[in-house]
Every structure is written in structure tokens, then in C-alpha cells.
Chains A and B, each alone.
Chain A
Amino acid sequence: MVDHHVEIEQLVKTYPGAQKPSVDRVSFSLPRGEMLALLGPSGCGKTTILRMIAGLIAPTSGAIRIDGRDVSAIPVHKRNMGMVFQSYALFPHMTVARNVSFGLEMRKVGKTEIEERVKKALDLVKLTGLGERKVSQLSGGQQQRAAIARSLVIEPELLLLDEPLSNLDAKLRDEMRDEIREIQARTGVTAIFVTHDQDEALSMADRLAVMSNGRLEQIGTPREIFDRPQTDFVATFIGAGNFFSGKVREPGVAEVEGLGELRFSGEAPTGSSVKLMVRPHRLVLDGTGAAGVNRFSGTVEHIVYRGQTLTLTVRCGTQRLQADLPTHAGVLPEKGGEITLAVAPEDVTFIEKAAA
């Protein structure tokens, strides 16, 4: 029984003449129908992974398996994968319909069936009736849709999208984000998409694989990645955070210099040094006013008004805390005022694989 649809194992790519691998021993797997985001800063090897899966470049070592079968011997044109390129790569000398039908023509599908399936694919991406247009007569968003239709019409084993939203303006990006998610859910296709935008990854993907420098840092659901980052890189790359170094006093309690005791979630051996993180929006105003475990009193140094939230910089002992408070939280602090901030122990994350 094969429980994973797509399996990547110990994948390595070292480009000819390169000093170090662009992709370094990356492994992950996807169940059927999942949408996985490869997230990481530009140049970390996301596109390289996608191109190896597609068969456009050969891995230096490692395996790519679909339904348990190694596909490395299968040439690109027989892999039956759909790819949406960053620049769409629509054929400029063909109409939209011909672009979409290209894959079916290559598969020698009958004429009437091609017509039917092209129409269905165009309907799916809301390009109904635009089949006879030239590619150059489409807007950026429409080109994006045409590219998606073209790669889905062949009923691919796996849909690959390389920075699908990066060429769209902000408003269209939000719209296409939902749309791609919906199309993927409706067709049930297993999909991997590459992005350097954390919002995109968090909002679109079932799971995220966060990469840095060719290595896979952490893979998990958006919640796991955001709330339980396991490495320094993931913690700093995704969202904002307050970071503390401390020493574990007793199970679940660490002493942070200049701040006091901090109760945290996660297991760390007593006596060890730990790195802890608190997201700014997990800090709340504490009415009792007294400092204590997970309660810090300090002076407001700086306030930035952001509409729905207020970003405060609060000096507590020798530490500076950043807190995002909702603006509807009753009496709001003022600059120079004394306030007390509190955080629940489950919102203090112990970063397991932090560099000591």
C-alpha cells in the first residue's frame, strides 16, 4: 500500500561548476490532492526542485517517486505533469484555445473530445468565450488563467506552479490566490507551488515546506509553521517575533536574563540553554499591573498606529518587547506610560533546533 502520491527523497542538485549544491538532501512527500507550498527566500533552490520534479533538469542524486515508482528515467514529455511558469510561457503564435489544446493534440486526442475538454478547461478558469483571442490580447490575470487551463486540461499527475502570482498586481494577486486554491480543490489535483511570499504560502497551502540555502528547514501545516517554528530561520523568516535566550530552571520554565521567568510550551531538559519566541500579537495588556511569571511591566518607548492594531515597543528590564495590540482594547497605552504585558505559556514557543 502506497500512502504517498509524490515522494522526494534526499534530492541533491549541484549545478556544473558550482561550489556547493543548490538543493541539498531535501526530502518530503505529499498525499494525493494536497497543495504544498515551497517557501523560502529568492535563490534558496525552490525553482531547482520544481524543475527536477518536472524532469527539465536531472538531479545530481536522490529519488523522485510518483505512486512509489521512480520517475527519473521518464523524459519530460512523458511525465504527464502540468507546469505553470512564472512568465506563463504561453505560445505567442497560437490562440488561447490552441494553447490549451496543445497538450491534447500531443496526446492524439480526437477532435471533438479536444473541443469539449478545451471548453471545459476554459470554463473552469473563467475564460469562457475567449478561446479565439490571441495571447497578446489577454490581460496578465487572463494569461495566468490560460496557463493554468493549459496545464490542467491534460489531467496531470501533478501540478507545478512557479511563483504563480509574482507577475500580477496586488489586487489581482488576492483574487487569483483564492481562485487557484479553489481550482485545485475542485479538480483534486496534487499541487506544488513555489513562492517567496509567506502570506501567499500560509493562505494557499495545505502544508508548507520552508527552505533556506538549499536545505529544507521545516515542513508542516501553516499553523505548525507559524506557531511552532523549529528553527531560527523559520521563526525569523515567517512573521515577526520577540526572541529570548534563557536557561531552563525546571520543566517548562526558563530564566531569561533581564526579564524574569518565562513559562513555555515544549520539552527542554532542565539546565539547558533554550531559545524562545513570542509573537507580538500574542502579548496582551494585563490589568493587574503586577509583574510575575509571564507578566512583564515596562515603559512604552514607541507606538505605531496601524489601523486595526497598535504596534508598541516596550522596555522591560533590559529587554525590548514588541507587542501588537488590537485598537479596540479599551484604554490604549500612551508613549512614556507604564504598562504590563502578559503572555500565555502555550504562546511561548521553544525553538527546538535553534543554533545554540
Chain B
Amino acid sequence: MNPAARSADGSRRVLLMLLLPGLVALGVTFVLPLLWLFRASFASSAIGAFSGGDWTLSSYETVLTDPFYWLVAWNTLVLGFNVAVFTVILSYPIALFLARTESRWRGVLTALAVAPLLTSSVVRTYGWMVILGDQGVINSTLQALSLTDGVVRLTNNSFGATVALIEIFMPYAILAMLSGFGRLNTQLEEAAAMLGANRLKVFTRIILPLSLPGVLTAALLVFVLAISAFVTPRLMGGGRVFVLGTEVYNEATVTLNWPLAAALSVLLLVLFSSVIVIYQRALRALEA
């Protein structure tokens, strides 16, 4: 063996050693539970899931034949879609401003935009309950001004869940967009203007296409976060919003039907992967 090959071999061994702690941690905390989740989804009872008992398709049968779970899956997709669309629409101008500004406050402004991440999403959900609740800020204001007779229902439904999720995910969307705006550059806008493009044309022909990868990344991230969310839909939905996240929680902790919870989780995983495949196709199409 020549020295170069030997040293390449050596550096590969060093790399492997460096990777090992991370790999072990991932294996124990991620891969093993995931495998166990798959196994559990084929068990007939919670006990069976642990003790390597029987194999059955009955949980999947329930999930795939019960119209309720189809409705839950549909609700989840609709919620994820709405949250993703509105989060992206609301975050885009902010991210665009932060990416393009030459103000020396840019760093501070960026920090401010993502500062909500310092508070737990549970706390922020409670914040939204205070604002949107039946006796909340909006309702009491409306009533004090005699604009409405009764209560306008803003919580305990999917509207409330959607609003809270949008606000909670906006910092993530802004960060994802900023990281995806690498090709934006004011000189390109100036070049377009010199060639006769007005502001609208500069936006539609230059800024929008160049920022699309960032927008797509943000949309994917928010969609994935939204369809797996469970605390906010549960609190804001008041038990009346049924999505995959809340149902998994229900089956696992209330009904104690772990195999069913596992099967629902697998369904969620399938949704995830299909969305990621679609995203990658779209991104490749954009780049071509």
C-alpha cells in the first residue's frame, strides 16, 4: 500500500471515530425508537408491542377503513396547508426586508424577528388563548364597543389553531427564507432596472424567482412542523380539532391503544416523506 492510500485510510478511520458518538446517540434515541414504533404498529396490544408477541395488521385496518381517521388525515393536511401558505405569505415581506436592507440595525432587526423562539410555544399558545378566547381581548373589545351581541368563536376551532400556529412558526419561516435567499443581490435588481424593468417587473422577474428556493424551503418546514404539531391544536382546538398529532396523543395516553398510536405515527411519517419528495422535485425543477 502506498503512503497516500494509507494516510487516506487513516483519515477515514479518524473520521469514523469522530462520527461515532453522534451515530451512537442517534441510533439509541432515534433509530431504535423508530424501529420499535414500526414493530408496535403491527402488535395487537401494548403488552405485545413490548414483549415481541404477535404480528397483526389490525391497527392499519382500523386506520385505513375507519372514515374518522380519513377525516383526521384530511384535517391534518388542510391545517398544514393553510398554516404553511399564510406563514409564508406573512413571513416573506419580513424576510425580504431583512435580506435586502442596508440599515446598520439589520442584525438587531433579525434578532427581533426570531426573538419569539426564546419563549416556549406552549406559553405563546396560552397567549393566543388570552387574545382570541371567548372572554379574550378581541371579544371583550368587540362587546364593549357593542359591535357584536354574543361571543365570536375564535378558539376551540381550527381557526384558532391555525392563527396560533402561523404566529408560532413565523420565526422558523423567516430563518429558512433568509438562508435560502443567497442568490438575491441588489446588483441584479440594478441591472434589471438599467435594462428597462420598473419596480414591479424587477420583483416578478428577478426577486421572486431568485427567492423561490427560500420560500419553498420555508413552506416545507412549516408544513412539516404544522402536521406534526399537537400541543397548539389541542389547546387552541379545545378537543374539537382532530388532527394526527392530537389523535396519536389520545390513543397513546388516553385510550392506551399503543399499536393504533404507532400506526397513526407511521401514517404521519408517510405524509412527511411524500411531502419531502415533492419538495425536492420542485426544487430541482426550479434549478433546471
Partners in one complex: yes
| Chain A interface residues toward B at CB < 8 A | 54, 56, 75-83, 85, 87, 89-93, 102-103, 106-107, 150-151, 154
Are A77 and B198 in contact (CB-based, < 8 A)? Answer: yes
Q: How far is the CB of B109 from chain A (nearest CB, A)?
A: 19
| Contact flags B121-141 to A (C-beta < 8 A → 1, else 0) | 000000000000000000000
Cβ–Cβ < 8 Å partners of A56 in chain B: 190, 193-194
Are B201 and A89 in contact (CB-based, < 8 A)? Answer: no
| Contact flags B171-208 to A (C-beta < 8 A → 1, else 0) | 00000000000010101101111111110010001100
Contacts A56-B190, A85-B187, A87-B187; A93 near B209 (Cβ below 8 A)? yes
Cβ–Cβ < 8 Å partners of B187 in chain A: 85, 87, 89
Partner of B196, one of A54, A85, A90, A107: A107
User: In the complex, what distance in Å separates the CA atom of A98 from the CA atom of B79?
Assistant: 39
Partner of A83, one of B194, B197, B209: B194
Cβ–Cβ < 8 Å partners of A92 in chain B: 183, 188, 210
Are A78 and B188 in contact (CB-based, < 8 A)? Answer: no
A sample of 12 cross-chain residue pairs with beta-carbon separation below 8 angstroms, ordered by A number, consists of A54-B194, A76-B190, A77-B193, A77-B198, A87-B187, A89-B187, A91-B192, A91-B206, A92-B188, A93-B209, A102-B195, A102-B205
Are B196 and A93 in contact (CB-based, < 8 A)? Answer: no
B197 and chain A: residue at smallest CB distance: A106
Cβ–Cβ < 8 Å partners of A85 in chain B: 187, 190-191
Cβ–Cβ < 8 Å partners of B192 in chain A: 91, 102
User: In the complex, what distance in Å separates the CA atom of A117 from the CA atom of B155?
Assistant: 61
Q: How far is the CB of B287 from chain A (nearest CB, A)?
A: 9
User: In the complex, what distance in Å separates the CA atom of A91 from the CA atom of B190?
Assistant: 11
Are B190 and A103 in contact (CB-based, < 8 A)? Answer: no
* B contact patch SS: helix
User: In the complex, what distance in Å separates the CA atom of A40 from the CA atom of B57?
Assistant: 80
Are A89 and B191 in contact (CB-based, < 8 A)? Answer: yes
Are A89 and B197 in contact (CB-based, < 8 A)? Answer: no
Of B190, B195, B205, most buried by chain A (CB within 10 Å of CB) is B195
| Chain B interface residues toward A at CB < 8 A | 183, 185, 187-188, 190-198, 201, 205-206, 209-210
Q: How far is the CB of B204 from chain A (nearest CB, A)?
A: 12
Give how many A-B residue pairs fall within 8 Å (CB-CB). 59
Contacts A56-B190, A87-B187; A103 near B195 (Cβ below 8 A)? yes
Cβ–Cβ < 8 Å partners of B188 in chain A: 89, 91-92
User: In the complex, what distance in Å separates the CA atom of A118 from the CA atom of B194?
Assistant: 17
B288 and chain A: residue at smallest CB distance: A134
Are B197 and A77 in contact (CB-based, < 8 A)? Answer: yes
Q: How far is the CB of B56 from chain A (nearest CB, A)?
A: 52
Q: How far is the CB of A98 from chain B (nearest CB, A)?
A: 10
User: In the complex, what distance in Å separates the CA atom of A91 from the CA atom of B209?
Assistant: 10
A160 and chain B: residue at smallest CB distance: B194
Cβ–Cβ < 8 Å partners of B191 in chain A: 83, 85, 89-91
Are B196 and A103 in contact (CB-based, < 8 A)? Answer: yes
User: In the complex, what distance in Å separates the CA atom of A83 from the CA atom of B192?
Assistant: 10
Q: How far is the CB of B143 from chain A (nearest CB, A)?
A: 49
Are B183 and A151 in contact (CB-based, < 8 A)? Answer: no
Q: How far is the CB of A136 from chain B (nearest CB, A)?
A: 10
Cβ–Cβ < 8 Å partners of B197 in chain A: 77, 102, 106
Cβ–Cβ < 8 Å partners of A75 in chain B: 198
Cβ–Cβ < 8 Å partners of A81 in chain B: 194
User: In the complex, what distance in Å separates the CA atom of A150 from the CA atom of B191?
Assistant: 10
Partner of B190, one of A78, A89, A150: A89
User: In the complex, what distance in Å separates the CA atom of A89 from the CA atom of B194?
Assistant: 11
Q: How far is the CB of A66 from chain B (nearest CB, A)?
A: 15
User: In the complex, what distance in Å separates the CA atom of A91 from the CA atom of B183?
Assistant: 10
User: In the complex, what distance in Å separates the CA atom of A106 from the CA atom of B188?
Assistant: 15
User: In the complex, what distance in Å separates the CA atom of A151 from the CA atom of B198?
Assistant: 17
User: In the complex, what distance in Å separates the CA atom of A150 from the CA atom of B195?
Assistant: 8
A108 and chain B: residue at smallest CB distance: B196
A82 and chain B: residue at smallest CB distance: B194
A156 and chain B: residue at smallest CB distance: B194
Cβ–Cβ < 8 Å partners of A87 in chain B: 187
Are A151 and B194 in contact (CB-based, < 8 A)? Answer: yes
Cβ–Cβ < 8 Å partners of A93 in chain B: 183, 209-210
Q: How far is the CB of A104 from chain B (nearest CB, A)?
A: 9
Cβ–Cβ < 8 Å partners of A107 in chain B: 196
User: In the complex, what distance in Å separates the CA atom of A330 from the CA atom of B205?
Assistant: 67
User: In the complex, what distance in Å separates the CA atom of A81 from the CA atom of B195?
Assistant: 8
Of B185, B193, B198, B210, most buried by chain A (CB within 10 Å of CB) is B193
Are B195 and A106 in contact (CB-based, < 8 A)? Answer: yes
For the A-B complex with A80-B196, A89-B185, A93-B210 known, give 11 more contacts whose Cβ atoms are closer than 8 Å: A75-B198, A77-B193, A83-B194, A89-B190, A91-B191, A93-B183, A93-B209, A102-B192, A102-B197, A103-B196, A106-B197
Cβ–Cβ < 8 Å partners of B201 in chain A: 77, 106
